């Protein structure tokens, strides 16, 4: 979640820097180089670059990929994979359809008449159910 600081300030905060964090140098002669934090001494980071060179940099001169990953896990710790969709949840079902119906649905997708077989089946079943329930309400005067 964004806390009102611009992204550059947020990524430069030294809070949370740990030995072993993977980083990229943002400025100076090693700009773009990647490395691993070896130590922090008096606010200066000792970094071992992937090429084998040891350098010292200030925290604002790096992008800390490990810190970014830790923050992401704090924001969304229990989710793995994709975040939940805002659309209704779905249930996997098995249906037996006539082969020609399945093939025609595939043809309709290929021709661009419908975006997917799943969408077509959901839309058409929902339309018929709505019609069925609205007829039932009109006949009885109440919903059953």
Q: Where are the domains of the chain?
A: 7-75, 99-140
Residue 26 token pair: 């943002």
- Asked if 21 and 65 count as a contact pair (C-beta separation under 8 A), the reply is yes
Q: What is the pLDDT of residue 2?
A: 39
C-alpha–C-alpha distance, residues 123 and 87, integer Å = 14
Which CATH number is associated with domain 7-75?
Answer: 2.30.30.30
pLDDT digits (tens, 9 = 90+) for 71-115: 877 776 565 666 666 666 788 889 999 999 999 999 999 999 999
Q: Quickly state the pLDDT bin for 68 (edges 50, 70, 90).
A: confident
C-alpha–C-alpha distance, residues 123 and 101, integer Å = 16
User: Tokens 């949370």 — which residue?
Assistant: 16
Comparing 62 with 16, the larger pLDDT belongs to 62
pLDDT digits (tens, 9 = 90+) for 17-38: 889 999 999 988 999 999 999 9
- Asked if 48 and 38 count as a contact pair (C-beta separation under 8 A), the reply is yes
């Amino acid at each position: 979640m964004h806390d009102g600081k611009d992204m550059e300030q947020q990524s430069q905060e030294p809070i949370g820097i740990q030995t072993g964090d993977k980083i990229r140098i943002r400025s100076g002669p090693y700009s773009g180089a990647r490395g691993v934090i070896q130590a922090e001494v008096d606010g200066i980071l000792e970094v071992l670059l992937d090429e084998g060179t040891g350098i010292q940099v200030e925290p604002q001169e790096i992008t800390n990929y490990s810190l970014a990953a830790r923050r992401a896990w704090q924001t969304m710790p229990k989710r793995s994979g994709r975040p939940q969709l805002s659309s209704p949840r779905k249930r996997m079902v098995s249906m037996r359809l006539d082969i020609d119906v399945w093939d025609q649905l595939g043809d309709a997708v290929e021709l661009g008449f419908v975006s997917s077989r799943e969408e077509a089946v959901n839309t058409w079943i929902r339309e018929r159910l709505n019609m069925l329930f609205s007829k039932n309400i009109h006949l009885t005067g109440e919903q059953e």
